[in-house]
Amino acid sequence: MTSQAASPDAISNDTSSTGASSNDVAGPGISGRGFARSLGAVGVGTVVGILLTIGTDAIFHRLGVFPKQGEIPTTGALLLATVYRCVYGVVASYVIARMAARRPMMHALVGGMLGIVANAAGAIATWNAGPQYGAHWYPIALILTSLPCAWLGGKWYQAGAAKPDPSN
């Protein structure tokens, strides 16, 4: 019988009866590196969604699809903005889930919760600020669609991740 020496990785990842590893920084089951990767996944996905939205807004303003800054947006323009923001929310959540080391759906939903917070802050800031910010249904729609869009992005990733590799 040969004895095998434990590798440094095996020693550092030894778990106690609580399930926490000895190198956990952020709590049970989350290593410092895993926590950083989670933050990175949520951060990158969020930036993707923001950049897509800002870019599309700018293009639509230049093309005259959206009114000039300070003018009252039409219902059609707000509906269009709601639709593409939903699409971008799904894409951003897919990116978050794709980049997450573990629990991709949870990460996607965290992105959706951040969307709720950001959209609620926007609604509060613009609620009575004037008609140039649009009808009140618009920020409410953004708040209500944040989590379902995040869930769809997570499901989209899970559907692709569950497919067998055709090269095998």
The candidate with the shortest Cα–Cα distance to 118, out of 108, 126, 130, 129, is 126
Report which of 30, 166, 156 is spatially closest to residue 89, judged by C-alpha positions.
Answer: 156
CA 38 to each of CA 10, 35, 98: distance values in angstroms, whole numbers, following the listed order: 23, 5, 11
Which 8-state DSSP code applies to residue 129?
A: S
Half-sphere exposure of 168 (CA within 13 A, CB side): 3
- The pTM (predicted TM-score) of the whole model is 0.78
Cβ neighbours of residue 161 closer than 8 Å, sequence gap 6 or more? 104
Least confident of 50-59, 74-83, 111-120, 155-164: 155-164
What digits encode the pLDDT tens for the residues 16-72? 444 444 343 344 555 678 889 999 999 999 999 999 999 999 999 999 999 998 899
Q: What is the pLDDT of residues 4-19, one digit of tens each?
A: 444 334 333 444 444 4
Residue boundaries of the structural domains of the chain: 32-161
